[in-house]
A and B are shown apart, each in its own frame.
With several copies, the nearest count.
Chain A
Amino acid sequence: MNDNSSITVLRLAGELDIGRREEIHGVFQLAPDARRVLVDLSEVTYADSTTLSELLRLRADAQAQDARIAIVIGSKRFARVIEYAGLGSAFAIFDDRGAALTYLAPGLQS
């Protein structure tokens, strides 16, 4: 399905807490051939450790199949939560999509 240059986009929006755990888990799934993954959380206005745990699980899944992940985060408050959890350097985080795409596929246009 995914050729070498294609990018998988996983997207969530709004307020993410334990009430949406199953939805978050369902969205953070990788096709076996995914190699470049853009996690677009630019419209997420609130996220707690539910999302952090799911992101760590997604990161492990990605490592297992040699996929690269870039996360786009729009809200300051969400970015702070990642720091508070001590996960500031666990993910490749970008505040706009363009920079995330460049990281995923340098030299490609999308």
Chain B
Amino acid sequence: MTVGSELRLNRDAEATGVTPMRHALSAFLDAIAVDQDTRDDILIAVGEAVANAVEHAYCGSSPGMVQLYARVDDARTLAVEVVDRGEYISRERRDGRGFGMRIVRSVARAVAIETDGGTRIHMLFDIASAADTP
């Protein structure tokens, strides 16, 4: 029943936007009856991806946008994309950093990154939406 539900948020990539974007995703997941633990895991992974766009994408250039797109693909899959139009910074893991993408990979069922004209992180999450169980 919740298949096709989606949330698309376009915002300036700024640190103050991370919390309200996460809250919007949280309320979206509640509205499609995703259970709390699953919701919280998705929030942290997507939060890391959005924080990366804010922190890294427009480093040195003028600040641009970040887009969050979440979609219920089928009754058991939430697809999320976090997109910016900045520049991907490829680098060795720094000491005491680099946990963001590690968290994303721990939580998501699948992760793909495109770094062409910005960074686009695709994530798939398992959801067992309570609203879809008979």
Interface residues of A (CB under 8 A from B): 15, 17-19, 21, 46, 48-50, 52-53, 56-57, 60, 76-77, 80-81, 83-87
Contacts and interface: CB of A to CB of B under 8 A. Distances in A.
A60 B97 CA distance: 13
Given A17-B47, A18-B18, A85-B103, 19 more contacts: A15-B19, A17-B19, A18-B51, A21-B15, A46-B43, A46-B47, A48-B44, A48-B103, A50-B51, A53-B99, A76-B37, A77-B40, A77-B44, A80-B44, A81-B103, A83-B106, A84-B102, A84-B107, A86-B99
Nearest to B39: A77
A17 B19 CA distance: 7
B97 A84 contact: no
Contacts of B100: 48-49
A49 B48 contact: yes
